[in-house]
Amino acid sequence: MLAVFVVCALFALFGLILGYSARRFRVEGDPLVDKIDAVLPQTQCGQCGFPGCRPYAEAIARGDADINQCPPGGEEGVIALADLLGVEPKPLSAEHGIEKPKSAAIIDESKCIGCTLCIQACPVDAILGAPKLMHTVIESECTGCELCVAPCPVDCIRMEPIKETLATWRWPEPKALGQ
């Protein structure tokens, strides 16, 4: 009888502790979405079929999207997502695009008519300009999402691969081990 009583008392005690800590240490939002979002390259290009990286992260967390729909993240990104979610990595899905070298948009300023369409399209406010005035891309802010290319009525925006400088250069891998 005493044993039953003690066990019940312990249950009640633990229940209280758990109940309290569930309220006290409650985690706001969905931590999984944040973790997935942290792995995504934040290009905000929408190639995955979702309007931005965060919505894609939410879709992955819900199970509505696959992990191989992010071309800017590339194979490396797929592997990182697979590691995070504990699933098998798979090749990049071709229908969402191919992995390209990191690029930035450049506006041919002599052709720009100042229509502001690209400014409205840019997801990270990397284009500077005003109606009927020349626009330009702030290169350091450009994520290379290409969303500004299509809306341009005079086709004056092109994507240029980012040039290697001394600051971005890194030592190459040594040649493969000889067998």
Partner 1 sequence: MNLLKLWNFHGGLHLDGHKRESSVAPLAIARIPERLIFPLQQRNGEDSQPIVAPGDRVLKGQVIARDDNPFTPPIHASSSGIVRTIEDLPLPHPSGLSGLCIVIDTDGDDVAMEFTGVADYRQCSPDELRRGIYEAGIVGLGGAAFPTSIKVAPGDHRKVDTLILNGAECEPYITCDDSLLSHYPADVLNGAKILLHILQAERCLLAVEDDMPEALAALERAKEREGFETIQLVRVPAIYPTGGEKQLISILTGREVPMRGIPADIGVVCQNVGTAAAVYNAVIRGIPLISRIVTVTGRGVKQPQNVLARIGTPLADLIHQCGGYTNEAERLVLGGPMMGFGVPTDDLPLTKSANCLLVAGRNELIGEKQSLPCIRCGACAEACPVSLLPQQLYWYSRSEQIERALDYNLFDCIECGCCDYVCPSHIPLVQHFRAAKGKAVAKRREREKADHARLRFELRQSRKEQEKRERAESARRKKETLVTGKAPEILEAIERAKLRRAEKTAPPSGNSEPIDDDKEKAISPATDAESRDISVDAGHAEKQSGDQISKAQPIPSEID
- Residues in contact with partner 1 by the rule CB under 8 A: 37, 40-44, 52-54, 123-126, 141, 143, 164-175, 177-178
- The amino acid at residue 58 is E
Nearer to partner 1, 147 or 157 (CB): 147
CA 74, 79, 85, 90 torsion-angle sign: positive
> CB of 24: closest distance to partner 1 in angstroms?
28
- Looking at the Cβ atoms of 88 and 173, the one nearer to partner 1 is 173
Distance, in Å, from the CA atom of 142 to the CA atom of 118, rounded to the nearest integer, reads 12
Which is nearer to partner 1, 48 or 126 (by Cβ)? 126
State the minimum distance, in angstroms, from the CB of residue 103 to partner 1: 13
Q: Closest approach of Cβ 117 to partner 1, in Å? A: 16
State which H helix or E strand residue 36 sits in. Answer: helix 31-39
CA–CA gap between residue 53 and residue 45 (Å, rounded): 8
Rounded to the nearest 10 degrees, the angle between the axes of helix 53-62 and helix 31-39 is: 130
Q: Please, what is the minimum distance in Å from the beta carbon of residue 77 to partner 1?
A: 10
Q: What is the DSSP letter of 29?
A: S
The residue (of 23 and 175) whose beta carbon lies closer to partner 1 is 175
